[in-house]
Chain A
């Protein structure tokens, strides 16, 4: 197109430097990718890449260490907050973050995250809630909605036998040691922008030594939900957001002073 060559252009958006230049293994449309992108953008903007240490978990995001261009370790299933605790205590000048799915954090790893929050560890947890165990084939997770069909609840989650979904942000917000606990969603541009702001705030909390921070991100799993990516975003908005309301569940008074 001729016009574009005549007038000078500026770059409005380009891939963040904190992402490695490789294609991911995530399914098309999977919003794990959006979460990765936002975290990388914030790290670029804060200029903290050389001080980052990520703790990958078990789930589809187990290979996160291949995609972010900084140091990572990989924790046994659910144990990322315990591993992050050790790393942060030994290397307090680093930014230590975990990246965990709902099966990882809210099921097998519930004890680790609760106690890390209760201790007020100065770490940041990124919690990707896609309402199922994505990696292993879409089984029911603690976060699966009542009535939601999964490969291990083919008739829909029956709360009589399988209990009710756990709202992790609300639960962690009750703990004194938690300084910043919020839930955001990745289903549209406005909410994606709000999610990025929350990621930034959480890392500022850690920068200022204010204690435990957790950002829950509602995310889609088109493959196991059996929907197109676009339909999955609608399903998330219609079904997940009402059960998992977006908002700030714990903002300690000192955190409220942070201006970004």
Chain B
């Protein structure tokens, strides 16, 4: 199983620039087709499963709008025990 992650995009900061959508190596991001922020932008969101928590979307985001979470992997020892 690949590592699983998720992101949370802040509607306060996101301006729907699409840079994260283009940069995501898993192609799991989209601009929300139906939601608008208070400023009138379609914010980025996860389109489905497959986020690995790699953080690349956060590296390219000009608004520091993205928080990235990743599941803690059990250590090999713990997994074998």
Chain A residues with CB under 8 Å of chain B are 1, 3-4, 7-16, 19, 21, 23-24, 26-34, 36-37, 40, 188-189, 192-193, 228-230, 233
Tell me whether chain B's interface is mostly helix, strand or loop, or mixed.
Answer: loop
Q: Of residues 1 to 58 in B, which have CB atoms within 8 Å of A's CB atoms? A: 4-6, 10, 12-13, 15-19, 22-23, 39, 41, 49, 53-56, 58
**In the docked arrangement, what's the CA distance between A16 and B13, Å?**
13
Interface range, B side = 35 or more
Find out whether the CB atom of B23 lies under 8 angstroms from the CB atom of A189: yes
**In the docked arrangement, what's the CA distance between A3 and B69, Å?**
13
Which single member of A1, A9, A233 contacts B72 (CB below 8 Å)?
A9
Chain A residues with Cβ below 8 Å from B69 are 4, 9-12
Find out whether the CB atom of A13 lies under 8 angstroms from the CB atom of B58: yes
Chain B residues with Cβ below 8 Å from A19 are 64
Which single member of A13, A14, A26, A188 contacts B62 (CB below 8 Å)?
A26
**With A16-B64, A19-B64, A23-B63: A10-B18 Cβ-Cβ less than 8 Å:** no
Q: B13: shortest Cβ distance to chain A, in Å?
A: 6
Q: B77: shortest Cβ distance to chain A, in Å?
A: 17
**In the docked arrangement, what's the CA distance between A16 and B64, Å?**
8
